[in-house]
């Protein structure tokens, strides 16, 4: 079994949907995919942890979309925030291929690496943008 990045789910749920859809459409031509549970909207309880007492509590509910598939007999599950039936299906297909006994398709692994790098670049740019608006109160006190 191959090494699985822990952030694959983040990449799949945050990448551009058209690119993810094109990937899955190409995978559909080479794999037998059976939808076990059609994409459906549900409410999911969001857990959080109190930072002081380390007590777990439920923050509230979030609207999510979930889907279950079988890819070449391997189960796959997709869950994403919001009403995104296409994305939840795509995530489920990728999940089945990533967690199967055989190696994941090279194009799926390449897609994940490419989009992981794009998301890191986006997050870095956003962080740098926020830093530009950072106020240094120590410098203000010197005047």
- Residue 102 pLDDT: 79
H/E stretch holding 95: helix 85-98
For residue 143, is pLDDT > 60? no
Instruction: Give the span between the Cα atoms of 7 and 33, in whole angstroms.
Output: 24
Return phi, psi of residue 133, to 5°: -95, 5
CA angle 61, 70, 18 (to 5 degrees): 65
What tokens appear for 134 in the block?
Answer: 């950072």
Q: What's the mean per-residue pLDDT of the chain?
A: 89
Residue-level pLDDT at 100: 77
Residue 34 banded pLDDT, cuts 50, 70, 90: very high
- Most confident option among 7-11, 92-96, 134-138: 92-96
Query: Is-contact 31 108, C-beta < 8 A?
Result: no
Per-residue pLDDT tens digits for 66-114: 999 999 999 999 999 999 999 999 999 999 999 877 788 999 999 999 9
CB 107 within 8 A of CB 93: no
Per-domain boundaries in the chain: 8-125
């Amino acid at each position: 079994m191959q090494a699985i990045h822990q952030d694959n789910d983040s990449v799949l749920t945050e990448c551009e949907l058209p690119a993810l859809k094109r990937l899955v459409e190409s995978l559909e031509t080479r794999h037998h995919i059976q939808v076990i549970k059609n994409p459906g909207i549900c409410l999911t309880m969001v857990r959080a942890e109190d930072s002081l007492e380390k007590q777990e509590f439920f923050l509230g509910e979030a609207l999510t979309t979930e889907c279950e598939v079988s890819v070449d007999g391997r189960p796959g599950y997709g869950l994403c925030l919001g009403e995104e039936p296409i994305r939840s299906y795509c995530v489920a297909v990728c999940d089945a291929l990533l967690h199967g006994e055989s190696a994941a398709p090279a194009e799926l692994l390449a897609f994940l690496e490419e989009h992981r790098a794009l998301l890191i670049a986006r997050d870095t740019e956003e962080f740098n943008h926020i830093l530009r608006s950072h106020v240094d109160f120590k410098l203000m006190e010197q005047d």
